Amino acid sequence: MVNIGVLISGNGTNLQAIIDGIDRGIIKGKIQVVISNRKDAFGLIRAKKANIESLYIDPAGCDAAAYDQKILYELKKRNVDLVVLAGYLRILSKEFIEEYKNRIINIHPSLIPSFCGRGYYGDRVHKAVLDYGVKYTGATAHLVDEGTDTGPIILQEVVKVDDNDSVETLKEKVLEVEHSILVQAVKLFCENKLSIKGRLVSIIDEE
């Protein structure tokens, strides 16, 4: 059984998708703790409803490295094997990434390397997609490295952009895909079916 720690900053719909995936037996893992950098994150309430330990860690007065050490302390205390960033809006420190190298999964609401990097998060991504006029967008589940949205890609899924889409309608379509591929990526990690060679992540087929 893989011990999972989930970091959030907001509503926690991707967290809910993981909780549901575990409950349905899709993911062979257990969420040991949910940690938020925002006290009012609704994801904390989702965790409590699911009887999962939830923590708010106040970032005030801490630089990035010191704050991450606080989180690392809580993760290690619970023997967390995999860290999932489910709408977590802070950049992780080098020390954090080294500690959990190739064991941090993030979900991003576009087809990386398009519409990603610093400043591209939440509704900003979907607005940029619509402003540019691309015909397809999607979501990407990837491993986290020291860059912003630059880690090796695990899974991607495409979403068609319709002419009448708004930020809100596009967000809803992409969210559905986010939930699906994040659950699948966590499932594959927990089953030890990801082979990582440089930037290439392959899915191990045991058949």
Catalytic residue from among 108, 126, 142, 179: 108
Length of the chain: 207
179 is catalytic: no
Active site amino acids: 108
